[in-house]
Amino acid sequence: MKTLMSRALDLARLRGAQYADIRVVHNRTENISVRDGVVDGLDASETEGFGVRVLANGAWGFASSGQLNPAEVDLVTDQALQIARASALVNRQKVDLGPAVTSQGTYTTPYQTDPFSVSLEDRLAVLLAADAEMAKVQGLRTRASNLSLQHEHKYFANTEGAFTEQNLYEVGGGIQAMAVGNGEVQMRSYPNSFARQQVTGGWEALLSWDLPGNAQRIGSEAVALLTAEPCPRNITTNIILGGAQLALQVHESCGHPTELDRVYGTEAAYAGTSFLTTEKLDTFQYGSPVVNLTADSLRPLGLGTFGWDDEGVPAQSSPLVKDGLFVGYLMSRETASRLGRTSNACMRASGWNRMPIIRMVNVSLEPGTWDFDDLVADTDDGIYMELNRSWSIDDKRYNFQFGTEIGYEIKNGKMGRMLRNCTYTGLTPEFWNNCDAVCNQKHWQMWGTPNCGKGQPGQVAHTGHGAAPARFRNIKVGVLK
Amino acid sequence: MLGEKETRKICENVLARCKDGQAEVLLNFTDSSLTRFANNTIHQNVAERDAELSVRFFIGKQMGTASTNRLDAAGLDLVVERARRNAQASPADPDYPGLPSPAQYPQVQCFDPSTAAYTPEGRAQQVGTVCRLADEKGLNASGAFSTGCGELVIANSNGVFAYHVSSSADFQSVVMAEDASGRAHGSDWQASRVDVETLGRQAIETAERGRNPRKIEPGEYPVVLEHYVTEDILSMLNFYGMGALSLLEGRSWMNERIGKKVMSDQVTIWDDGLDPAGTPLPFDFEGVPRQRVEIVTQGVPVGPVYDRYTGAKAGKPSTGHALPPNARGMGPVAMHLFMAAGSSSLEEMIRTTERGLYINRFWYTRLVHPSACTITGMTRDGVFMIENGEIAYPVKNLRFTQSYVEALDDVQAVSRDTHLLLGEYGGFGMRVPALKLGHFNFTGNTA
C-alpha cells in the first residue's frame, strides 16, 4: 500500500505540486432493520478507493477513484493536478498550511468484542426481542428497530513525510414506536432520536443500551402522548433539557458556529456562515460561567474519536468556550494558519471520494455540579424536554427552534404531567447565557450524531457530543396552534 | 462510462452466481466533478469516478442485500456471497411480492455528451465570470458548479434488463453584501441550458437590493414566493406524505385528505419520470416502468406513489417509484415532480399585493408535526416588504412555522414560468412555478 501511495505523492511532486496527500479507504458497513416484526433490510456494503489532494499553483485540486491500481493512481493524480491548475485561474488567496505534519503510526478503536464477529443471528435476536416487547403495547401503529456496524480502514500519507494507518469501528442502533390517533402522530425513540444512537467501540456498547428492556416503556409513552396535554403555547418559562436533546443543541448552536471555514465564508453557499466572527475570539461571552464546551478527538465512545484527522494531525482536546467565554474554533491546517494558530485536528472526509473539510469531532458540554433530582427540586416552574423531534437553525447559527418527542411539566420542584408537541426557540448567545445549571458527571453521556450534512458534494459526518441535562431560564416555549 | 454492453456483461456475471435463488442487480456508475467557490475564489475543486453494484438475493421470501464497488471476479463472488448469507439469516417476509418481469421502457433523452465532457477549465471560466461580476460590485460570491454523467442499470433473474444513461449540470450561487445576500440556482441535464452568468447576475442583484434590511414583527403576511421556495414546499410534501408507506403507516399529510378539497384549485401536482422537461428516468430501482401519477389535482389529493411492496400491501400496482435497496426503508418516493403553471408572473404578483413579503428562498426547513405537514424554517438570501404593489424595502430574516397543506389552500396566483431544479433533499429533478399565497405564519426573527 505504501508503494502505491508513494507513487501518487512522487508523481504529484514531480509534476509541480507544492503539497500532496493521499488517503486510501476501505469502508465496510452492515445494517439490519426490523419493521413490525419483519426484517425489512439486512445489508452488507463495502466501498474502497483513494483520493488525491494536491496544492499546485497555490490552489487545491482533488480527484478520486474506486479502482486501486498503479495506472489509475497515475491518472487520478494527473487529474487532481489539472483541477488544481484550473482552480488557480480563479484564485486570490494563496494557501498556507502552517507547520509541516509528519505523523507516523497506527490506531485502532478500543473495543471488547469486534462487532463484525457477532453472528447475524445474534444481532437479529436483539432487534426481534425489542420488537416483541414493543408489540406487547396496545395501540401502537408502527414498530421499528435497527442496528448498524461500521469498520473503516484508512491509510494517509503526505509529501511532508506523514504515514498513518487507522482502524475505526462504530456501532449504532435503536428502537422507535409510533402511535396514531386522536388527530395525532406521536413517536418515541430510544436511546437517541430517530432511533439511532451511535458510538465508536464494540458490540458491548450496543448491548449496554438494553434495547429490549426499554421497548415497552417507549411504546407505552408513544401511546400516552396521543392524549397528553399539548405544550403550552407562546409562554416564557424555564426548561431542563435531557442529555440527548442537549447534545443536538450543542451540535447545532456551538459545534457548527465554531467551524472556522464557516467563519471565513467558504461554506456560505451551502451550510452557511457563523455569527462567531474572529473579532469575538477571547472577548465574546458566549454563555454563562457554567458553560464549558470542548472539542476533542480522544474521549472514549465519541464518533469524533480517532488517531489522526484526514490531514494527519494528531487527535487532541481544546476548549471552545471556557467559563462562558468564547476561546476557540474547530480548525484545519489552512484556516488555523490564517488565524495564527495551529490545527486542532478537525479535518475529516466522509469517504475516499470526498475532500476533507472542517467537521466537528466530539464537541461536548462539560459536566457541572448538579444532581438531576436536585435540579428538578430547585425548579419552581418549567418543562423538562427530551429527545429531538425537529431542529432548525439559521445560516449564521443564531436563531433556532427545536421540538422534542416528550416533555413533562415541572411544578414546585416536582415532575408532573406528560406534555406533547413541545418546542422551544431562541437566539444562541441569549440561550447559553441563560444556562444556570449543568448536571454532574454521573448524568453525563457521550451521544452520537451520525447524520451531519455539510459540503458540496455532500458529505455526511459522524460526530460525538457529551452532555448532561442542563437548565435554561426564561425560554420561549410552544409554537404550534 | 462503462457502456450498455459492458454493464450487461457485469449483470450477467452476477446473476450467473445466483442460480440457487433469485436475484436483482443494481449497477450505478458515476463520473462527476464539482467546482466550489467562495470569497470570489475557487477553494475546492473535486472529481469522482465510481461504480457501485448492489445485489438483492432471494431464497423464497427471504431477502438479503449487499453492495460493493469492486467489479472484479473476486468482488462479485464476495458481494453475492454476502447477499446470500444475509438472505439465509433473514426470516421470510410473507408480504414480499417477488421480482418484476421484463417490460418495455420508453426511450427518453437525458444525456448530453458535452455536459459529460465538461472540463475543470470550463467550469473555472464560468465561475470566474460570476466572481468577477461580484467583485466589481464589492460583493462576495460563493457557490458551486457541478457537471457529470452516470449510468443506471437494473437486471434480475426474471430477465429484466434496464439501462439508462444521463448527464447533469447544476449551478448555485450565494452572493453576499455586508448585511444582505442573494441566491440563484439552475439545473438541467444539458449544461448549455444552465445560464451561469445570468444566474450570477440575479444573485448579485438580489444582494444589492437587500442592503440595509429592516427588522419587522413576526405575524401573518401574504407572501410572493420565488420558485426556489416552491421547490422546498413540494420537497417537504413529498417526503412527508406522497409515498405509499407513509400513508399505510398513518403519518402522511394525505391521510384523511384523499378525495377532499384541501388546497386551492390552482394546485395541481404530478410525478412524471418520462417528461423531458424534467430529468427523465424511465424505470425505478426495481426495473418497473415509471408511470405518470396525479398526486394533487385542482386542490384535491388523489393518492401516493407506490413501489411493488407497498402496492402489494395496498392492493395497487406499482407506479414505478421504488428507491435503491439501501434506501427502501423510506418506501416509494416521487423523484420527478411537476407543479402546474398558472397565468401570472412575479411582477403581477407583486403589483397586486397591497402589503406582504417577497421571499427568495427558505432555509433549514424541518418537520414540526406530520399531520398537516407543519414545517419550521428561516427565510434566507432575500426578503423584501411589498407595499402598494411595489418592493418597498428589504427586511431581516424571519422564522416561520406553517402547515404547508394549509398554506396551499390559499394560493392567489401561480406563475406561468416554471423552472427545473435539482432539489436540495435527494437531488431529485423538479419543475416548479413561483407562487403567491394569501397568508403565511412567521413566528420569530433575527437580531
- pLDDT score at A194: 87
The reply to whether residue B250 touches residue A395, judged by beta carbons under 8 angstroms, is no
- The residue of chain B with its CA nearest to that of A334 is B43
The reply to whether residue A64 touches residue B46, judged by beta carbons under 8 angstroms, is yes
C-alpha span between B140 and B314 (Å, rounded) = 52
The reply to whether residue A390 touches residue B447, judged by beta carbons under 8 angstroms, is no
Q: Does B356 lie in the same domain as B312? A: yes
The reply to whether residue B326 touches residue A45, judged by beta carbons under 8 angstroms, is yes
The reply to whether residue B38 touches residue A265, judged by beta carbons under 8 angstroms, is yes
- pLDDT score at B63: 95
C-alpha span between A187 and A191 (Å, rounded) = 13
Q: Does B61 touch chain A (CB under 8 A)?
A: no
The reply to whether residue A40 touches residue B370, judged by beta carbons under 8 angstroms, is no
Model confidence over A345-370: pLDDT tens digits?
999 999 999 999 999 999 999 999 99
Written as nine digits, the cell of B313 is 400491501
- DSSP-H helix ranges across B315-379: 346-351
Q: Quick check: is B192 in a domain?
A: yes
- pLDDT score at A454: 95
- The residue of chain A with its CA nearest to that of B91 is A39
In this model, does residue B69 exceed pLDDT 80? yes
Question: What is the rounded average pLDDT of the residues B351-379?
Answer: 97
Q: Are strands A235-241 and A470-477 parallel, antiparallel or unpaired?
A: antiparallel
ipTM of the complex: 0.94
Encode A198-212: b = buried (16+ Cβ within 10 Å), e = exposed: bbbbbbebbeebebb
- pLDDT score at A94: 82
Last residue of a domain, one of B184, B209, B234: B209
In this model, does residue B335 exceed pLDDT 90? yes
* Residue pointed to by grid coordinates 432539489: B423
Question: What is the rounded average pLDDT of the residues B368-388?
Answer: 97
pLDDT confidence band for A479 (50 / 70 / 90): confident
Question: What is the rounded average pLDDT of the residues B188-194?
Answer: 96
Residue B50: which CATH number?
A: 3.30.2290.10
The reply to whether residue A457 touches residue B48, judged by beta carbons under 8 angstroms, is yes
Q: Quick check: is B214 in a domain?
A: no
Q: Does A369 touch chain B (CB under 8 A)?
A: no
What residues 208-227 of chain B have any CB closer than 8 A to a CB of chain A?
none
The reply to whether residue B49 touches residue A66, judged by beta carbons under 8 angstroms, is yes
Backbone angles phi, psi at A146, to 5 degrees: -155, 160
**Pseudo-torsion of CA A193, A195, A200, A201, nearest 10°?**
130
Q: Does B159 lie in the same domain as B224? A: no
Contacts of B45 in chain A (CB under 8 A): 59-62, 83-84, 86-87
- pLDDT score at A210: 98
pLDDT confidence band for B426 (50 / 70 / 90): confident
What residues 124-143 of chain B have any CB closer than 8 A to a CB of chain A?
124-125, 127-128, 131, 140, 142-143
SS3 for B75? helix
Model confidence over B76-97: pLDDT tens digits?
999 999 999 999 999 999 999 9
Give the nearest partner residue to A392 out of B70, B249, B365, using CB atoms: B365
Q: Does B375 lie in the same domain as B275? A: yes
Q: Does B189 lie in the same domain as B232? A: no
SS3 for B223? strand
Q: Does B398 lie in the same domain as B279? A: yes
In this model, does residue B313 exceed pLDDT 80? yes
The reply to whether residue A90 touches residue B128, judged by beta carbons under 8 angstroms, is yes
Half-sphere exposure of A94 (CA within 13 A, CB side): 7
Written as nine digits, the cell of B91 is 426470516
* Residue pointed to by grid coordinates 404531567: A417
- pLDDT score at A376: 98
DSSP assignment of B270-319 equals EE-TT-TTS---SB-TTSPBP--EEEEETTEE---B--HHHHHHHT----
C-alpha span between B313 and B340 (Å, rounded) = 31
Model confidence over A277-321: pLDDT tens digits?
999 999 999 999 999 999 999 999 999 999 999 999 999 999 999
Q: For residue A467, which amino acid is it?
A: A
Model confidence over A28-45: pLDDT tens digits?
999 999 999 999 999 999
Q: Does A6 touch chain B (CB under 8 A)?
A: no
C-alpha span between A227 and A418 (Å, rounded) = 9
Task: Note whether B330 and B243 are within 8 A (CB).
Answer: yes
Out of A181-185, B150-154, B235-239, least confident range: A181-185
In this model, does residue A442 exceed pLDDT 90? yes
- A473 burial (CB, 10 Å; 0-12 / 13-18 / 19+) is middle
pLDDT confidence band for B379 (50 / 70 / 90): very high
- The residue of chain B with its CA nearest to that of A65 is B49
In this model, does residue B427 exceed pLDDT 90? no
- pLDDT score at B422: 87
Q: Does B250 lie in the same domain as B226? A: yes
- pLDDT score at B172: 96
Q: Does B176 lie in the same domain as B132? A: yes
Q: Quick check: is B304 in a domain?
A: yes
Neighbours of A141 (CB within 10 A): 19
The reply to whether residue B380 touches residue A395, judged by beta carbons under 8 angstroms, is yes
Question: What is the rounded average pLDDT of the residues B263-288?
Answer: 96
Q: Quick check: is B298 in a domain?
A: yes
Q: Are strands A414-420 and A229-230 parallel, antiparallel or unpaired?
A: parallel
Give the nearest partner residue to B376 out of A89, A141, A401, using CB atoms: A401
Task: Note whether A437 and A384 are within 8 A (CB).
Answer: no
Contacts of A83 in chain B (CB under 8 A): 33, 45-47, 120
Contacts of B1 (CB under 8 A, 6+ apart): B29, B31, B116, B149, B151, B165
Q: Quick check: is B313 in a domain?
A: yes
Kindly report the nearest CA distance between residue B371 and chain A, in angstroms.
Answer: 7
What residues 254-283 of chain A have any CB closer than 8 A to a CB of chain B?
264-270, 272
Q: Which of B40, B364, B396, B400 should one mutate to test binding to chain A, selecting the residue with the greatest count of A CBs within 10 A?
A: B364
Contacts of A403 in chain B (CB under 8 A): 368-369
* Residue pointed to by grid coordinates 423584501: B384
Kindly report the nearest CA distance between residue B443 and chain A, in angstroms.
Answer: 8
Backbone angles phi, psi at A379, to 5 degrees: -105, 110
Q: Quick check: is B403 in a domain?
A: yes
- B157 burial (CB, 10 Å; 0-12 / 13-18 / 19+) is middle
Contacts of B33 in chain A (CB under 8 A): 83
pLDDT confidence band for B251 (50 / 70 / 90): very high
- The 8 Å CB, 24+ separation contacts for B125-130 are B125/A89, B126/B171, B126/B196, B126/B197, B127/A90, B127/B35, B127/B37, B127/B42, B127/B196, B128/A89, B128/A90, B129/B196, B129/B197, B129/B200, B130/B37, B130/B173, B130/B175, B130/B196, B130/B197, B130/B199, B130/B200, B130/B203
Model confidence over A46-105: pLDDT tens digits?
999 999 999 999 999 999 999 999 999 999 999 999 999 999 999 888 899 999 999 999
Question: What is the rounded average pLDDT of the residues B213-235?
Answer: 97
The reply to whether residue A65 touches residue B50, judged by beta carbons under 8 angstroms, is yes
Question: What is the rounded average pLDDT of the residues B289-313?
Answer: 97
Q: Does B154 lie in the same domain as B237? A: no
- The residue of chain B with its CA nearest to that of A270 is B143
C-alpha span between B153 and B169 (Å, rounded) = 21
C-alpha span between B309 and B315 (Å, rounded) = 10
Q: Does B345 lie in the same domain as B394? A: yes
In this model, does residue B425 exceed pLDDT 80? no
What is the set of domains in chain A, with CATH numbers?
A: 2-227 (3.30.2290.10), 230-477 (no CATH)
The reply to whether residue A427 touches residue B447, judged by beta carbons under 8 angstroms, is yes
Neighbours of A360 (CB within 10 A): 27
Question: What is the rounded average pLDDT of the residues B382-399?
Answer: 97
Kindly report the nearest CA distance between residue B360 and chain A, in angstroms.
Answer: 14
Q: Does A44 touch chain B (CB under 8 A)?
A: yes
Model confidence over B18-37: pLDDT tens digits?
999 999 999 999 999 999 99
Q: Does B49 touch chain A (CB under 8 A)?
A: yes
Q: Which of A82, A87, A116 should one mutate to test binding to chain B, selecting the residue with the greatest count of B CBs within 10 A?
A: A87
Written as nine digits, the cell of A209 is 443500551
Name the nearest CA neighbour of B295 among B329, B323, B321: B321
What residues 260-319 of chain B have any CB closer than 8 A to a CB of chain A?
none
Average pLDDT of every residue of chain B:
96
- pLDDT score at B138: 96
- The residue of chain A with its CA nearest to that of B37 is A266
Q: Does A47 touch chain B (CB under 8 A)?
A: yes
Q: What count of CB pairs under 8 Å joins A to B?
A: 253
- pLDDT score at A339: 97
Q: Does B173 lie in the same domain as B48? A: yes
Q: Does B205 lie in the same domain as B58? A: yes
Last residue of a domain, one of B209, B244, B272: B209
Share of residues in chain B with pLDDT > 70 (%): 100
The reply to whether residue A398 touches residue B446, judged by beta carbons under 8 angstroms, is yes
Give the nearest partner residue to B326 out of A43, A393, A425, using CB atoms: A43
**What is the number of domains present in chain B?**
2
Model confidence over A7-25: pLDDT tens digits?
999 999 999 999 999 999 9
The residues facing A104 across adjacent strands are A163
Contacts of A80 in chain B (CB under 8 A): 47
Q: Does A399 touch chain B (CB under 8 A)?
A: yes
SS3 of chain A: the string is CHHHHHHHHHHHHHCCCCEEEEEEEEEEEEEEEEECCEEEEEEEEEEEEEEEEEEECCEEEEEEECCCCHHHHHHHHHHHHHHHHHHHHHCCCCCCCCCCCCCEEEEECCCCCCHHHCCHHHHHHHHHHHHHHHHCCCCCCEEEEEEEEEEEEEEEEECCCCEEEEEEEEEEEEEEEEEEECCEEEEEEECCHHHCEEEECCHHHHHHCCHHHHHHHHHHHHHHHCCCEECCCCEEEEEEECHHHHHHHHHHHHHHHHEHHHHCCCCCCCCCCCCCCHHHCCCCECCCCCCCEEEECCCCCCCCCCCECCCCCECCEEEEEECCEECCCECCHHHHHHHCCCCCCCEECCCCCCCCEECCCEEEECCCCECHHHHHHCCCEEEEEEEEEEEEECCCCCEEEEEEEEEEEEECCEEEEEEECEEEEEEHHHHHHCEEEEECHHHCEEEEEEEEEECCCCEEEEEEEEECCEEEEEEEECCCC
In this model, does residue B445 exceed pLDDT 90? no
Contacts of B67 (CB under 8 A, 6+ apart): A43, A44, A45, A46, A47, B52, B53, B54, B55, B79, B325, B326
- The residue of chain A with its CA nearest to that of B365 is A392
Name the nearest CA neighbour of B158 among B103, B105, B100: B100
Q: Does B226 lie in the same domain as B199? A: no
Name the nearest CA neighbour of A246 among A193, A205, A289, A317: A193
Cα angle A76-A78-A82, degrees, rounded to a multiple of 5: 115
What residues 143-182 of chain A have any CB closer than 8 A to a CB of chain B?
178, 180
Task: Note whether B39 and B140 are within 8 A (CB).
Answer: yes
In this model, does residue A481 exceed pLDDT 80? no
Q: Quick check: is B267 in a domain?
A: yes
Q: Quick check: is B337 in a domain?
A: yes
Contacts of B21 (CB under 8 A, 6+ apart): B57, B58, B59, B84, B87, B157
- The residue of chain A with its CA nearest to that of B38 is A266
Average pLDDT of every residue of chain A:
97
The residues facing A294 across adjacent strands are A319, A364
Kindly report the nearest CA distance between residue B426 and chain A, in angstroms.
Answer: 10
Q: Does B59 touch chain A (CB under 8 A)?
A: no
The reply to whether residue A480 touches residue B401, judged by beta carbons under 8 angstroms, is yes
* Residue pointed to by grid coordinates 465510481: B50
The residues facing B394 across adjacent strands are B384
Domain that holds residue B137: 4-209
Question: What is the rounded average pLDDT of the residues A162-174?
Answer: 98
Task: Note whether A358 and A260 are within 8 A (CB).
Answer: yes
Last residue of a domain, one of B157, B175, B209: B209
- pLDDT score at A480: 76
Model confidence over B110-164: pLDDT tens digits?
999 999 999 999 999 999 999 999 999 999 999 999 999 999 999 999 999 999 9
DSSP element (H, E) containing B433: strand B429-445
